[in-house]
Chains A and B, each alone.
Chain A
Amino acid sequence: MKEILSGNEAIARGAFEAGVKVASAYPGTPSTEILETIVNYREIDASWAPNEKVAVEVAIGASFGGARSIACMKHVGVNVAADPLFTLSYTGVGGGFLLVVADDPEMHSSQNEQDSRNYAKFAKMPMLEPADSQECKDFTRFAFELSEQFDTPVMLRSCTRISHGKSVVALGDPVTGLPAPKLVKNPSKLVMLPGNAKVRHPLVEERIVKLAEYGATAAINRVEMRDAEIGVITAGVSYQYVREVLPNASVLKLGMVYPLPMTLIREFAAKVKTLYVIEELDPFIEEQVKAAGITVIGKDIISRCGELTPGRLRKAFGLPDAAQTAVEKLPGRPPNMCPGCPHRGVFYSLNQLKAYVTGDIGCYTLGFMPPLNAMDTCICMGASISNASGIVRALDPEEQKKVVAVIGDSTFLHTGINSLMEMAYNQAPATVVILDNRITAMTGRQDNPASGWTLSDSQTNAVDLVQLCKAIGIKHVRVADPLNLEQTLEALREEMNRPEPSVIITNRPCVLVKREGVFQKGLVLSVDQDHCTGCKACLKIGCPAIEWQPSSDGKKGKAFIDPMLCNGCDVCRQLCKFNAIGSAK
């Protein structure tokens, strides 16, 4: 049977075919759909974790219980998960363990474009890199055999073009005859106190040598001999671009990019006249090949920044580009918060109060965009609160009052909670706004421990954020309605003036949450054209439903609300001093 699957869907299928029992992840583009697909396989216990470190630790637990398990995340998530990962490399596994990481070269929706292959080398575990959806499925399945055969956790690296690209996949039957999970005590292998860990480290080093030897003959790495003038070592999506642009080149196509099969590379290098390494981002393969004393061309012609594309590869090899039609400059189309988004009123208020806003990762990072212009920093998940906590320590009391951290509910539970503990513990006098919209919105509306629902859509306990903040030690916790500007401004003003740590929790759900009774579309608003003076106050919130219509007779233009887009949040009505905005007739 054949199906067209995305790389993420194919990884999920591979996990199913491999007999995976437990899957855990934190959502993050481009990795999110792996768990969203896995949850449809009833045989697998799949759940969202509050962050990537926890996801890895859940999967490790299952592996130690003898079950095949998988953890999935985007590249920056591995930074969060790095701690357990490096020690797991020492303990080895029970049931096979796979960490899937989806990189984002070109930063289509990420804050940096780190190359996860470095983690495999750093943590001393094998790294597989599929080049299309078929390989996503096959390599995922294979990873569990490799993991159990070599007693090692395995990483599989995808990238945006592989994760979100679709291609044809031949489906297989799930494996049978896997041993049933059970508890087996083995503390000298699994308790990594110094005495035990010292014994494990040499085994880890031996394992990498054995894996490199294995890679020299394993089918996952293959040589495609064509014209011997040009030889290319490549992997992942770069392989596809090489085949597209250099169809006659000989290729060493690596499926396992760490450890490298150096004997195979030497043999291949000896057969071709000029040897290239074509890879996205870091010279990961190139540096190791050069260190082995083999002459190779790589980053001399391919950028370390951004995605590789057929066009960029062509340019690197001095091949003529296809003629491109020239067009004139157009207005840009950046992403925007949705009409009715509950974050808009908060950012409008922060802008009005001239706050210095330390931001975080989520839809609300778009509060940075004009006309709201209400975000001043954004580093990584959870950093908003600790950044605020740090910056106030450097400022005098008047300046301290301006500092406000904003963070979403999911981000807060991810790692923001640790930062808030720090703020409470050290009594940093900054204000924190938890933008609670009951969902992990940016990645496509995934549930989290505060939403009251699980990945498999069953109702569950919902974290009480107010009680939680109080339990941590924040004395001043209050709830504000972000669609009520006066209330929001008042809450912010008061808490910003308070020389103590304080938290404001906003309480409106995301407009995209489809679950019944969560979001209710309000009345659709309209602009009374007779009362509109064209003052543009309503445009300051940057709502996609409000449009400026210039007047054809040279007079002042007027605002107009698109009834198809308006979600009736009412924020614009509160901005109009002329009572020109009301319910649509």
Chain B
Amino acid sequence: MSDTVTNILLVGVGGQGILLASEILSEAFMQAGFDVKKSEIHGMSQRGGSVVSHVRYGKEVHSPIVPEGEGDILFGFEIMETYRSLPLLKNGASVVANDLCIQPPSVLLGQETYPTDLPEKIAALFPKFLLVDGQGLAAEAGNVRAANTVLLGAVSKRLDIADECWIKALEKMVPRKALEVNLKAFQLGRSL
């Protein structure tokens, strides 16, 4: 095992299931035998604010937060939050994002506009960018709400962790009645 620590950031809007996704990730890394640390802020953010969750794994992890400008992978649940978080990444990082826009209050009120060209801008800054039709593929798996697991599948392909660790983590963290749909959603994401 090398000494390098891999830094993953999960970003989106409060209520999107970012906590659960980062917990599944962390569980998979522990299953694979790594040290892992995870940190996020909740509290006020759960009421529709921006959420950033940090997951770091490696032989030994010290800081629970990713040092600014050192993120290796950005896992975006919402496009504007994905773009907002780009300064956290290092050059050449991978970005996997859900093709979803959630309008903040100022846009809902018609005071500001939601930029429409964000996917192109992200792709220009980070060539390793994958835009995922999370909702569409989740519907294909059997439930639109499994979009997060589709994305998790897509992210998993960019990490060197054995298949069974992911499956074990999903089995542990996802409620039993939703497991079948989530396993399917995960595989759809992984095939991207």
Measuring CB to CB, which residues of chain A are less than 8 angstroms from any residue of chain B? 2, 4, 29-30, 108-109, 132, 160-162, 164-168, 237, 240-241, 243-245, 309-311, 314, 321-327, 330-338, 363, 366, 369-371, 442-444, 536, 539, 542, 544, 546-548, 550, 557
Listed by A's residue number, 25 A-B pairs whose Cβ atoms lie within 8 Å are A2-B30, A30-B43, A108-B41, A109-B41, A109-B45, A166-B39, A167-B35, A168-B30, A168-B36, A240-B62, A310-B63, A311-B67, A325-B125, A325-B126, A327-B83, A327-B125, A330-B83, A332-B106, A333-B81, A335-B14, A335-B47, A335-B49, A442-B44, A542-B109, A550-B110
Known A4-B30, A30-B43, A167-B61; judge A314-B67 contact (CB<8 A).
Answer: yes
For the complex, what is the distance from the CA of A330 to the CA of B102, rounded to whole Å? 13
B residues less than 8 Å from A366 (CB atoms)? 47
Main secondary structure of the interface of B (DSSP, over half): mixed
For the complex, what is the distance from the CA of A520 to the CA of B119, rounded to whole Å? 39
Known A4-B27, A240-B64; judge A334-B104 contact (CB<8 A).
Answer: yes
A residues less than 8 Å from B35 (CB atoms)? 167-168
B residues less than 8 Å from A536 (CB atoms)? 110
A residues less than 8 Å from B70 (CB atoms)? 322
For the complex, what is the distance from the CA of A487 to the CA of B107, rounded to whole Å? 31
Does A167 contact B48, Cβ atoms closer than 8 Å?
Answer: no
A residues less than 8 Å from B14 (CB atoms)? 335
Known A546-B108, A548-B109; judge A167-B68 contact (CB<8 A).
Answer: no
Question: 16 extra interchain contacts, Cβ-Cβ under 8 A, other than A334-B105, A542-B109?
Answer: A2-B30, A30-B43, A109-B43, A132-B64, A162-B64, A165-B39, A310-B65, A321-B69, A323-B69, A325-B69, A330-B115, A334-B49, A338-B48, A370-B105, A442-B43, A547-B103
Whether, in the assembled complex, B142 has its beta carbon less than 8 Å from a beta carbon of chain A, the answer is no
B residues less than 8 Å from A161 (CB atoms)? 39, 64-65
Does A330 contact B41, Cβ atoms closer than 8 Å?
Answer: no
Residue of B nearest to A534 (CB): B110
- Across the A-B interface, the 5 shortest Cβ-Cβ residue pairs: A322-B69, A109-B43, A548-B110, A29-B43, A310-B67
Instruction: Name the one of B40, B69, B108 contacting A164, with C-beta atoms under 8 angstroms.
Output: B40
Does A166 contact B89, Cβ atoms closer than 8 Å?
Answer: no
Residue of A nearest to B126 (CB): A325
Instruction: Name the one of A241, A323, A442 contacting B91, with C-beta atoms under 8 angstroms.
Output: A323
**What is the minimal beta-carbon distance from B23 to any residue of chain A, in angstroms?**
7
Does B105 contact A336, Cβ atoms closer than 8 Å?
Answer: yes
**What is the minimal beta-carbon distance from A218 to any residue of chain B, in angstroms?**
23
Does B109 contact A371, Cβ atoms closer than 8 Å?
Answer: yes
Whether, in the assembled complex, B37 has its beta carbon less than 8 Å from a beta carbon of chain A, the answer is yes
Does B89 contact A325, Cβ atoms closer than 8 Å?
Answer: yes
**What is the minimal beta-carbon distance from A349 to any residue of chain B, in angstroms?**
19
For the complex, what is the distance from the CA of A51 to the CA of B44, rounded to whole Å? 20
Residue of A nearest to B115 (CB): A330
Beta-carbon contacts under 8 Å, B21-57 to A: 23, 26-27, 30, 35-50
Residue of A nearest to B88 (CB): A324
Beta-carbon contacts under 8 Å, B80-117 to A: 80-81, 83-84, 86-91, 103-110, 112-115
Does A332 contact B64, Cβ atoms closer than 8 Å?
Answer: no
**What is the minimal beta-carbon distance from A312 to any residue of chain B, in angstroms?**
9
A residues less than 8 Å from B114 (CB atoms)? 331
Known A164-B39, A310-B67; judge A243-B62 contact (CB<8 A).
Answer: yes
Does B47 contact A132, Cβ atoms closer than 8 Å?
Answer: no
Whether, in the assembled complex, B13 has its beta carbon less than 8 Å from a beta carbon of chain A, the answer is yes
Beta-carbon contacts under 8 Å, B4-29 to A: 13-14, 23, 26-27
